[in-house]
Amino acid sequence: MSEKDYVPHPIDTSGVSLPSDLQALGEDLARNTHEVWAQQRILDGWKYGPFRDGDQKTHPDLVPYEDLSEAERQYDRNTSMETLKVILSLGYRITRE
């Protein structure tokens, strides 16, 4: 199969709604996702720059989560919220001790 033939089929979570405590967890996960991504980029030799440049290894999102644009924070939120929804749709429970 070539890349042109690939059609993603994510788990359907359209019927899953997250309670408020899991929405707060989702925000924590989004922040951590950014931190893990940024840490790995820095370890790989990347640094902050106003433009993404693979040759110079600069990226404008190598900033604290709070300093990201709302669109970038929303990208991380979507990933974390969808992950939580998949966990619930697969029958797992998330509880805090």
Spell out where the chain has E strands. 47-48, 58-59
> What is the rounded average pLDDT for all residues in the chain?
95
Closest of 81, 82, 52, 77 to residue 65, by C-alpha: 77
* Secondary structure letter of residue 10 according to DSSP: P
Overall average pLDDT of the 1-7 stretch: 81
Q: What does the pLDDT read at residue 1?
A: 61
* 42-88 pLDDT, tens digit each: 999 999 999 999 999 999 999 999 999 999 999 999 999 999 999 99
Give the predicted TM-score (pTM) of the model.
0.86
Q: What does the pLDDT read at residue 9?
A: 95
- Distance, in Å, from the CA atom of 94 to the CA atom of 97, rounded to the nearest integer, reads 10
Q: Please name the residues in contact with 10: beta carbons below 8 A apart, sequence gap of 6 or more.
A: 82, 86
